[in-house]
Chains A and B, each alone.
Chain A
Amino acid sequence: MLIKFNLNGQDVEVETPPARRAVDLLREELNLTGTKEGCGAGECGACTIIVDGTTKLACLLLAAQLEGCRVTTIEGLEHENELTPLQEAFIAGGAIQCGFCTPGMVLTAQALLAKTPLPTEAEIRSAISGNLCRCTGYQKIVESIRLAAHRRAGELQ
């Protein structure tokens, strides 16, 4: 099946079996290995991508479902070598250890901040509660998301 969708700002067309999981399509056919697989069953959030503005799990989406959608993966955040404030904050705030959960975390946080520019700690924790991280204990991730939100709010003022 020929599937057309917008991937990280670019229109793409791929020929793929329609029941191929989105995570496999991205990783194996489109070479976007930033989308990770940690469980394949919706439990860990490592495969989080943004589809039409909402976070979805690429391990529980079939390729056919992407048809006509606007899809953002971790590779789509950086623009002309410039990181997003959220990515900068993850680096500065020490939110990254092994980094396997990081793409999913960053995209989840990105979607959160798009809707709730200045989230409380409780809102942040609940927003990332579907993304398991085994390395950090989450604290620096939460702090980094807050840092990014505050930096952005500061800029807006």
Chain B
Amino acid sequence: MKEVFRPRTFSELWQLRRQHENAALYAGGTDLLVQMRAAKINPQTLICLERLAEIGRIEEFNDEIAIGAGVSQHHLLENPTILKYFPVLCQALQALGSPHIRNMATIGGNIMTASPAGDTLPPLYILQAELELRSQKTQRRLPLADFINGPGQTGISPGEILSRIFIPKEPVFAGHYFEKIGLRQALSIAVVSIAALYNISTERKITAIRLAWGSLGPTIVTLPEVETFLIGKTLNPATLNAAATLVEQQVKPISDIRAGADYRRRVAGQLLLRLDQPANYRQTSA
């Protein structure tokens, strides 16, 4: 018979992990239990992190915010601090799964799933999030981009858990945009997604921009050349169209059951044109 443990503290967790080296961890279970049902994995022992208070908090520090890996996506969406500093993350969360999924699923689970279609990943990449990993004896911190290696592949070591996600408050961007193109308006996995942070001058010159795309490759795609191209240019359809062509040239998406590579490539570029819509730009910055 399978066992399920629900540690409340780190020390309980470390002890359980010592006793059950092959135990599988889960938080919301919206990914792990689906995999178990599909018989992709069959762990005999499960450790549920849902009640682990140490990873269930959102903390504000001087220059950064720390989000516990076990915070549910729903709680993040309800949190005024997150909404104030990171609208792009909230936009992504709003598009993730369904209300029930967001009630259960955690941000840590989304990162650890390391899916190219993981909706929090493009925003977290460009927000330059860092991850805190802890084990009984170690604690380390590294950039998210250095942690994710491929679909379902991360740099986590045996015995470690993802404990917190740190996001710097600065620099501040007035433009926050996330959009997911899926096959319907809810419960849809990204065919392509884009996250953007940008600032423009009063003459509508782009002064800073960060971009990331989901579902275009084995991991989140960033295109520094496109960002460099855009810096200093006027934000208008002509500029964005030129950038879109660059994007189309650089990405090598795959075809799968949801969409073909050509479609993904085209839409990845085209989505840049949304940045021209004034509604996506906050006049007063946070």
Contacts and interface: CB of A to CB of B under 8 A. Distances in A.
| Complex A–B touching at CB under 8 A | yes
Interface in A1-59: 1, 17-19, 21, 40-43, 45, 48, 54-57
B39 interface: no
A42 B2 contact: no
Interface in A98-137: 108, 126-127, 129-132
Given A41-B37, A65-B50, A18 B99 contact: no
A56 B103 contact: yes
A60 to B, nearest CB: 5
A40 B1 CA distance: 20
Nearest to A61: B29
Contact of A62 (B29, B34, B99, B100): B29
B15 interface: no
A40 B29 CA distance: 13
Interface in B82-118: 97-101, 103-104
B63 interface: no
Contacts, number: 80
Given A56-B104, A60-B29, A62-B46, A17 B2 contact: yes
B172 interface: no
Nearest to A115: B78
A131 B103 CA distance: 14
Given A19-B46, A129-B98, A129-B187, A42 B3 contact: no
28 contacts: A1-B4, A18-B2, A18-B3, A18-B4, A19-B2, A19-B3, A21-B33, A42-B97, A45-B98, A55-B103, A56-B100, A56-B104, A57-B104, A60-B28, A60-B29, A61-B29, A62-B4, A62-B33, A64-B6, A65-B6, A65-B29, A65-B50, A108-B99, A129-B98, A129-B187, A130-B97, A130-B101, A130-B187
Given A18-B2, A19-B4, A126-B186, 9 more contacts: A17-B1, A19-B46, A54-B74, A57-B104, A60-B29, A108-B100, A127-B99, A129-B99, A131-B100
